Structure 1
Amino acid sequence: MELSGLVRALRLEAQPPRAVPAAERVPLQAELLRAAGPGGAAAGRDLGALLEAADWRGLLALSPAALAELVSALSGYAAPPRQEQDAAEPPGRDRACAATAPRAADVGSVLLRLLEAAKGQEPRGAPGAAPALRPVLAHIYVFAAAHLAERPWTDARSRAVAQQLLELLVQAAGCGSVAEFLRGKHEDEEGRFGAVLGLLKPELTKDTWKQNPATKVVFSWTLPHITRPWLSPHLQLVLPPSLLLSDDYQEENKILGVRCLHHIILNVPAADLCQFNRAQVVYHALYNHLYSREAPLIQAVLLCLLDLLPVLERAQRQQRQPRPGSQWHEVLQLVLTHMEAEHRLALRRVYARTLPAFVRSLGILIVRHLKRLERVILGYLEVWDGPEEEARLGVLETLRCTIEHAWPRMPCRLPVLLKALLKMMWDVHTDRGSTPEAVKAALLQGATECLILLDRCSEGQVKVLLQGVYSSCEENQVRECIRRVQEDS
């Protein structure tokens, strides 16, 4: 069908209703798909003709349902190729995705013209979308968000059009930012986040979420814009898709899901999280990821757990459970077990960076893990882990926190810890590799602080043991560190 016929149909629908034989009425979506069907360059020419020939005022006068059908059909025409759930990627899929970008740019141009026409109809001094466009703002947003970032189905032109479309959409809605567009200007005002979730919901189920790869992109990009207190009313809609993403076998989706869960934990009240045992469900999903061997995923999971575990602990205390905070020990025990046997530097760095936070959170209760923690600290202090020495610095911070919180148990471990710290200081001083001087200084500073704390909790035993070392040491940096320990009062 020629596009002129489609435009005539749109204009007729914009006029007052008249009796039309049922055989002559064709659904608008079918008309559009027939005009902009899989015809390669022909489809592009059809959309180009729509830009020139369409009666934009007539389009705005369409019924909300017809306009929503139009925008939905346009978005579907520019969507990346669908695939079967958990099926292997068919050959030629990359080529099919690349062919989506020009269609998305053309569709974005059509929607831009539609928004510009709506903006021209705004009453002066009353910014906001034309009434006819309000029901389709969420549709336009989903389309723009799907094509904003660099993806297999976008190119430079489609991304630029999507960015321009999103900016004009926010202006047309009378908002100052994407977050304001989604959540509303005020706490008691309903934004369009619910409408966006309503559009995404059919494609975010267990059986459908992988069929359209743009769906997870839109969801994960949209969610961080909704913060406290606007997120809580939508918890039952955003939590299941986040758990679905995190439970996937692909690392990329796991990380995406864990980050979504982390955002939910940070922006939903603890009472809502604990209702219906939601927090426990999230905890078990995250705990299972601790067996992963991928450093980016482990980092995302540990950071998420550090914010979830206090929520669980408070809930257990309120319920007067016999062992509140038991999940802290469960997680730390598994982390230390993995740390002790870990040889990959990337994972060692991730573990060492997050370990101090666990020690600070447990406080004096860290004494339950001192034996294994001591073995981990000694093992990590021995190994050089690269120019930035992230693992050693993290373990030094862990040792410092441990001494501060479990100082009564430190004197009996003094000989072993003192030997390990002095050996590390000597290794750092004699290192002629690529370690920057600032990193060396940080390592020596951390070791010195640990020696000072050990001396305080052992009532000056470190000073006595270091006397012979100071007199026989000829290296200025090490002597300076020992001097600072001996002069500490």
Structure 2
Amino acid sequence: MRRSSSPQDSSLPEEWPSSALGQAFSQILHRFTSQESLRDKERNAALRDLSALMEGTDCDRLFEGSGTSLRGMPEMLGQVVKVLGKYAAPPKEQEGKSAGYSEVAEKAAAVGLLFLNLLRKVEAAKNLVYPAWKTSLRHLAGPVYIFAITHSLEQPWTSPRSQDVAGDVLALLLQVTECSSVAGFLHGENEDEKGRFIVIMELLKPDLNKESWKNNPATKHVFSQTLQQVTRPWLNQHLERVLPPSLLISDDYQTENKILGVHCLHHIVLNVAVLLCLLDLFPVLEKALHWKGDAARPRTRCDETLQLILTHMEPEHRLLLRRTYARNLPAFVRRLGILSVRHLKRLERVIIGYLEVYDGPEEEARLQILETLKLLMQYTWPRVPCRLVVLLKALLKLICDVARDPSLTPEPVKSALLEAATECLILLDHCSQGQVKGLLAKISQSCEDSKVLNCIRKVQQASEGAPYDGT
């Protein structure tokens, strides 16, 4: 292995591990950070030595415990990962040009391969129950994530090769941390688990102030991509961390940055400060409203807000906004309960219109609209029979469209749509005292599609011996 001749190598800080392996890592780390080795040739050689050292080191030596010294190997590895992330970072843009970007992708691919090797060793250490792997992962996860997001996006400093390697790094990181998604990695897989969003934001913070945010052209994209993954209710507690950078980016003179910043602000508004949060405020604002049984119930702010939402929903054709509106609609129906009957005609038009439009691979809008319809029938069931024909046609058309869908919609999404539509048919049958069951019997005689027949069969089986009791 190549060794640096700097005199600093012989006087390592006492808090770093004193083992031969720790000294080897410290020496290579010094070669990346010292003023004497700023040339790429020196750092490329150090990277090769580091890869060889990583490859030749067993898990039990790599993840030695940190109790014998102030820091130990876990923090040493974390520092190495941070340094490598900076080594592979794109250089500062100069006068709108991207000088030096051509070499970044090659560096990123090499660093990514080293990170893959390191993460595989963490996974092996986890399986072999070496205790220090958890400590090491705490130091590694944040910097590795930032590297993966930086180089997995299609940007001037990436290539197909570097993007593939970075994508593999991100996938393996999620596997090692036992997270099913990037969102779960950031905010935690469940309510009791603490995610890594705060760690990521703390790592990005030095590069997200007014003086530094343009030093690394990837930082704003990493911030934006990370922010988009954190939604309500998790984002509420991080407003002071995400709002200043979003405002800073949106206030830039470059149109590209303005758009990116507004995109971040839009996400914050949707997930922190508007519709669902208003629902939490309405009971406080309307404490003085008391219903007297001898008069009509007064219209509330919730009624007014839902009316406004429906006014915007009907003509909206942009899928992103349709998803946003549909995502919030079930909560308003739940809050109004039986009083949703005031908005029944407009809700009916919106529901039928939204069920007709394909919403992309995740079908978020149509799934939320089906949930809205289900709630609406539960709360306003006496008014449902007069709408039997129009609702039955809309649901059957949806089921047939999904069953025959040749698109790339994932099968789990199709199954969720069919299941939700079937639940609505069952409710519709209960509300209409079995009329749906009779009408479907005629269809089943001529239908040959197995998925459609399966939905009809479920409705018929659920309806047998289960008269609707109004609950």
Task: Using structure 1 for the length normalisation, give the TM-score.
Answer: 0.49
Residue 94 of structure 2 corresponds to residue 106 of structure 1? no
2:209 corresponding residue in structure 1? 205
1:31 corresponding residue in structure 2? 31
The C-alpha deviation readout for 1:294-321, integer Å capped at 9, x for no partner, is: xxxxxxxxxxxxxxxx89x98998899x
2:63 corresponding residue in structure 1? 60
Contact 2:32–2:46 (CA under 8 A) maintained in structure 1: no
Gaps of 5+ in 1: 274-309, 329-348, 358-489
Q: Percent identity?
A: 38
Choose the corresponding residue for 2:84, options 74, 88, 104: 74
Residues 272 and 25 (structure 1), Cα distance of their counterparts in 2 relative to 1, 3 Å cut: same
Residue correspondence of structure 1 range 189-268 to structure 2 within 5 A: 189-268=193-272
Residues 219 and 15 (structure 1), Cα distance of their counterparts in 2 relative to 1, 3 Å cut: same
Contact 1:56–1:114 (CA under 8 A) maintained in structure 2: no
The C-alpha deviation readout for 1:171-202, integer Å capped at 9, x for no partner, is: 11111111111110112321001100000011
2:364 corresponding residue in structure 1? none
Q: Matched residues in 2 for 1:31 and 1:257: separation?
A: 37
SS at 1:211's partner residue? coil
How big is the shift at 1:230? Answer: 0.9
How big is the shift at 1:130? Answer: 3.7
Contact 2:246–2:262 (CA under 8 A) maintained in structure 1: yes
Larger Cα-atom Rg? 1
Q: 1:186 corresponds to which letter in structure 2?
A: N
Q: Matched residues in 2 for 1:25 and 1:217: separation?
A: 31
The C-alpha deviation readout for 1:40-89, integer Å capped at 9, x for no partner, is: 46644542342223335444334443222211111111111135xxx624
Q: 2:260 corresponds to which letter in structure 1?
A: L
Q: 1:77 corresponds to which letter in structure 2?
A: Y
Choose the corresponding residue for 1:146, options 142, 146, 150: 150
Q: 1:121 corresponds to which letter in structure 2?
A: A
Residue 119 of structure 2 corresponds to residue 115 of structure 1? yes
Residue 95 of structure 2 corresponds to residue 88 of structure 1? yes
Contact 1:44–1:106 (CA under 8 A) maintained in structure 2: no
Residue correspondence of structure 1 range 467-478 to structure 2 within 5 A: none
Contact 2:63–2:132 (CA under 8 A) maintained in structure 1: no
Residue correspondence of structure 1 range 437-448 to structure 2 within 5 A: none
Q: 1:50 corresponds to which letter in structure 2?
A: L
Residue correspondence of structure 1 range 279-290 to structure 2 within 5 A: none
SS at 1:79's partner residue? coil
Contact 2:74–2:135 (CA under 8 A) maintained in structure 1: no
Gaps of 5+ in 2: 65-71, 289-300, 306-316, 326-471
How big is the shift at 1:111? Answer: 1.1
Residues 31 and 39 (structure 1), Cα distance of their counterparts in 2 relative to 1, 3 Å cut: closer
Q: Matched residues in 2 for 1:101 and 1:198: separation?
A: 25
Q: 1:168 corresponds to which letter in structure 2?
A: L
Q: Matched residues in 1 for 2:207 and 2:194: separation?
A: 23
SS at 1:197's partner residue? helix
The C-alpha deviation readout for 1:278-302, integer Å capped at 9, x for no partner, is: xxxxxxxxxxxxxxxxxxxxxxxxx
Q: 2:83 corresponds to which letter in structure 1?
A: A
Residues 38 and 96 (structure 1), Cα distance of their counterparts in 2 relative to 1, 3 Å cut: farther
1:363 corresponding residue in structure 2? none
Q: Matched residues in 1 for 2:155 and 2:147: separation?
A: 14
Q: Matched residues in 2 for 1:272 and 1:120: separation?
A: 44
Residues 26 and 138 (structure 1), Cα distance of their counterparts in 2 relative to 1, 3 Å cut: closer
SS at 2:135's partner residue? coil
Q: Matched residues in 1 for 2:145 and 2:31: separation?
A: 23
Residue 204 of structure 2 corresponds to residue 188 of structure 1? no
Q: 1:176 corresponds to which letter in structure 2?
A: S
Q: Matched residues in 2 for 1:125 and 1:319: separation?
A: 56
SS at 1:2's partner residue? coil
1:174 corresponding residue in structure 2? 178
Q: Matched residues in 1 for 2:170 and 2:108: separation?
A: 14
